[in-house]
Structure 1
């Protein structure tokens, strides 16, 4: 069963939604469709010149999802220009991000227990980029930032199934969101089944910095495992 698509956030709905080659009647034209979120990806990357990470944050999606969306948009526009097709902009899975809180922002603020894969037991320790075989997890209870530590050493010694075992350990601890670097397919599926959100590609910073970036909305929820 395919995984449901997560909502992509766009700054506004497009004011112009149709383009056609000059001098050719509509009845003689084929057309291609560009979704609203694909147009937003083009705008952020090619007009605002944002990096993939910055643009993904704007749209509340993972960097990999943004890359796929942008690539699809560029293919569609290239087809319209090179083959002389009409271009219709409509549809997609999107919502307009208001000046206030988005649905994702509200959901984020309701989350109270965050687990960060860590190389040590404190907020000052570095994020461990591994999920399944992380040495442990610093669990942060918001909003007061009290911490506890979950040792994950038993999963490090497993030849198989470390990601699933670690995900089950998170579920037993009542964790609501995991911040880590790499989360594989089986681990991601187990976390999703337990209702735990995932923020990926978090590395090179301390646990405390990761939590602060999450609270600011700078770490999008992943809609699939790392590739």
Structure 2
């Protein structure tokens, strides 16, 4: 299973970013080979509009099974994500990436209803 986290850095100990569209980094964890990779999303920081759409497109290009974030995507990004197979979980905004993964495994995050 491939899981994407919205984060403020590039490690398991990075804080989660509660924002979706303007998250600093997309952290990708592949459970099959226990690997982490990092995709910068910093280019959205200066955008006036469309940051959520751009972040949603980046997420879908990664083809994840799960997306874990803080507050969830905005309406426009949500419309794109709804059409995909990705399952979204929210409520991880005050955790590290590792804590968010543990919370997901323990069913302590809220499944975002599409």
TM over 0.5: same fold? yes
Q: Which one of 124, 130, 144 corresponds to residue 13 of structure 2?
A: 124
Could you tell me how far 1:144 is from its partner in structure 2? Answer: 4.7
Could you tell me how far 1:219 is from its partner in structure 2? Answer: 1.6
TM-score normalized by structure 2? 0.90
The corresponding residue for 1:191 is: 81
What is the rounded CA distance, in whole Å, between the counterparts of 2:99 and 2:34 in structure 1? 12
Could you tell me how far 1:213 is from its partner in structure 2? Answer: 1.1
What is the rounded CA distance, in whole Å, between the counterparts of 2:32 and 2:79 in structure 1? 28
TM-score normalized by structure 1? 0.47
Deviations 1:200-225 (A, max 9, x none): 1211110011011112222232115x
Could you tell me how far 1:188 is from its partner in structure 2? Answer: 1.6
Bigger proportion of residues as helix: 1
Gaps of 5+ in 2: none
Bigger relative contact order (CA 8 A; separation at least 6) = 2
Which structure would you say has the larger Rg?
A: 1
Stretches (4+) displaced over 6 A: none
Q: How does 1:1-150 map to 2 (within 5 A)?
A: 112-150=1-39
Deviations 1:165-192 (A, max 9, x none): 1011011111221111122111122112
What is the rounded CA distance, in whole Å, between the counterparts of 1:208 and 1:144 in structure 2? 16
1:153 aligned onto 2:76: no
1:210 aligned onto 2:87: no
Residues 201 and 220 (structure 1), Cα distance of their counterparts in 2 relative to 1, 3 Å cut? closer
CA RMSD, 1 decimal: 1.4
Bigger proportion of residues as strand: 2
The corresponding residue for 2:65 is: 176
Aligned residues: 113
What is the rounded CA distance, in whole Å, between the counterparts of 1:155 and 1:123 in structure 2? 23
SS of equivalent residue, structure 1 residue 131: coil
